[in-house]
Amino acid sequence: MATASVVPTRMRSINQTVLIVEDDCLLLLDARIALEDAGYAVVEAADAASALAAFDACSDIAAVISDIHMPGATDGVDLARIIRARRPDIPMILTSGDRRHADLPDGVQLIAKPYRSMHLVDQLRTPIAA
Protein backbone atom coordinates (compact mmCIF):
# COMPACT_ATOMS: atom_id res chain seq x y z
CA MET A 1 0.00 0.00 0.00
CA ALA A 2 1.46 3.36 -1.04
CA THR A 3 1.66 6.11 1.51
CA ALA A 4 1.51 9.77 0.73
CA SER A 5 4.26 11.91 2.12
CA VAL A 6 3.36 15.26 3.54
CA VAL A 7 5.95 17.97 3.00
CA PRO A 8 5.85 20.68 5.67
CA THR A 9 4.73 24.05 4.31
CA ARG A 10 8.14 25.54 5.01
CA MET A 11 9.74 23.00 2.68
CA ARG A 12 7.35 23.50 -0.24
CA SER A 13 8.43 26.02 -2.83
CA ILE A 14 5.76 28.04 -4.58
CA ASN A 15 8.36 29.44 -6.99
CA GLN A 16 6.88 32.92 -6.79
CA THR A 17 8.52 36.06 -5.50
CA VAL A 18 6.73 38.70 -3.44
CA LEU A 19 7.97 42.25 -2.98
CA ILE A 20 7.24 43.52 0.55
CA VAL A 21 7.48 47.27 1.16
CA GLU A 22 7.36 48.10 4.87
CA ASP A 23 9.33 50.60 6.94
CA ASP A 24 8.52 48.97 10.29
CA CYS A 25 11.25 46.34 10.68
CA LEU A 26 9.18 44.12 12.99
CA LEU A 27 6.19 44.03 10.64
CA LEU A 28 8.55 43.41 7.73
CA LEU A 29 10.22 40.53 9.56
CA ASP A 30 6.88 39.00 10.54
CA ALA A 31 5.51 39.21 6.99
CA ARG A 32 8.73 37.86 5.49
CA ILE A 33 8.80 34.86 7.83
CA ALA A 34 5.14 34.06 7.14
CA LEU A 35 5.61 34.30 3.38
CA GLU A 36 8.80 32.26 3.40
CA ASP A 37 7.12 29.63 5.60
CA ALA A 38 4.33 29.50 3.00
CA GLY A 39 6.92 28.85 0.28
CA TYR A 40 7.34 32.28 -1.30
CA ALA A 41 10.63 33.98 -2.08
CA VAL A 42 10.72 37.52 -0.67
CA VAL A 43 12.31 40.77 -1.80
CA GLU A 44 12.26 43.55 0.80
CA ALA A 45 12.18 47.33 0.57
CA ALA A 46 11.70 50.02 3.23
CA ASP A 47 10.38 52.79 0.95
CA ALA A 48 8.88 53.34 -2.49
CA ALA A 49 12.15 54.35 -4.18
CA SER A 50 13.84 51.14 -3.01
CA ALA A 51 10.76 49.15 -3.97
CA LEU A 52 10.77 50.50 -7.52
CA ALA A 53 14.48 49.75 -7.88
CA ALA A 54 13.88 46.19 -6.65
CA PHE A 55 10.81 45.81 -8.89
CA ASP A 56 12.81 46.88 -11.94
CA ALA A 57 15.76 44.65 -11.02
CA CYS A 58 13.73 41.50 -10.29
CA SER A 59 11.59 40.48 -13.25
CA ASP A 60 10.02 37.50 -11.48
CA ILE A 61 8.08 39.44 -8.83
CA ALA A 62 4.61 37.89 -8.81
CA ALA A 63 2.92 40.17 -6.24
CA VAL A 64 3.50 43.30 -4.18
CA ILE A 65 2.56 43.98 -0.57
CA SER A 66 3.11 47.55 0.60
CA ASP A 67 2.38 49.73 3.55
CA ILE A 68 0.59 52.93 2.56
CA HIS A 69 2.35 55.28 4.98
CA MET A 70 6.14 55.15 4.67
CA PRO A 71 9.09 57.53 4.44
CA GLY A 72 9.86 59.41 1.26
CA ALA A 73 7.93 61.40 -1.29
CA THR A 74 5.95 58.43 -2.63
CA ASP A 75 3.40 56.63 -0.49
CA GLY A 76 2.02 53.13 -1.00
CA VAL A 77 -0.98 54.29 -3.04
CA ASP A 78 1.26 56.16 -5.49
CA LEU A 79 3.62 53.17 -5.57
CA ALA A 80 0.66 50.95 -6.46
CA ARG A 81 -0.29 53.30 -9.31
CA ILE A 82 3.28 53.30 -10.67
CA ILE A 83 3.56 49.51 -10.51
CA ARG A 84 0.08 49.08 -12.03
CA ALA A 85 1.14 51.31 -14.95
CA ARG A 86 4.13 49.02 -15.56
CA ARG A 87 2.36 45.70 -14.90
CA PRO A 88 -1.43 46.04 -14.75
CA ASP A 89 -1.93 42.34 -13.98
CA ILE A 90 0.23 42.09 -10.84
CA PRO A 91 -1.64 41.32 -7.60
CA MET A 92 -1.20 44.05 -5.00
CA ILE A 93 -2.08 44.35 -1.35
CA LEU A 94 -1.78 47.61 0.57
CA THR A 95 -1.73 47.72 4.36
CA SER A 96 -2.60 50.59 6.66
CA GLY A 97 -3.76 51.41 10.14
CA ASP A 98 -5.95 54.10 8.56
CA ARG A 99 -9.00 52.49 6.99
CA ARG A 100 -10.02 55.58 4.97
CA HIS A 101 -8.48 54.97 1.55
CA ALA A 102 -11.13 55.41 -1.13
CA ASP A 103 -8.58 56.30 -3.81
CA LEU A 104 -6.99 52.86 -4.21
CA PRO A 105 -6.20 51.75 -7.76
CA ASP A 106 -8.57 49.17 -9.23
CA GLY A 107 -7.92 45.63 -8.10
CA VAL A 108 -5.70 46.61 -5.17
CA GLN A 109 -6.68 44.99 -1.87
CA LEU A 110 -6.52 46.84 1.44
CA ILE A 111 -5.71 44.98 4.64
CA ALA A 112 -6.14 46.97 7.84
CA LYS A 113 -3.41 46.94 10.46
CA PRO A 114 -2.99 45.24 12.74
CA TYR A 115 -3.29 42.04 10.74
CA ARG A 116 -2.24 38.47 11.35
CA SER A 117 0.56 37.41 9.03
CA MET A 118 -1.34 34.28 7.98
CA HIS A 119 -4.24 36.50 6.88
CA LEU A 120 -1.78 38.29 4.63
CA VAL A 121 -0.61 34.95 3.18
CA ASP A 122 -4.21 33.79 2.66
CA GLN A 123 -5.12 37.01 0.83
CA LEU A 124 -2.03 36.73 -1.30
CA ARG A 125 -2.69 33.14 -2.37
CA THR A 126 -6.00 33.89 -4.04
CA PRO A 127 -4.87 36.53 -6.57
CA ILE A 128 -1.58 34.77 -7.40
CA ALA A 129 -3.29 31.43 -7.96
CA ALA A 130 -5.95 32.97 -10.19
Q: What is the mean pLDDT of residues 92-107?
A: 83
Q: Select from 17, 119, 31, 91 the least CA-distant residue to 67.
A: 31
Angle (deg, nearest 10), helices 48-57 and 76-86? 20
pLDDT in tens, 27-41: 999 999 999 999 999
Name the residue among 74, 80, 73, 66 with its Cα closest to residue 24: 66
Q: Tell me the pLDDT tens digit for each residue of 53-83.
A: 999 999 999 999 999 999 999 999 999 999 9
Q: How far is CA 68 from CA 97, 109, 130, in A?
A: 9, 12, 25
The radius of gyration computed from the CA coordinates of the chain, to the nearest angstrom, equals 15
Cα–Cα distances in angstroms (integers) from residue 128 to residues 2, 38, 60, 81, in the given order: 32, 13, 13, 19
Check residues 79 and 128 and name the one with the higher pLDDT.
79
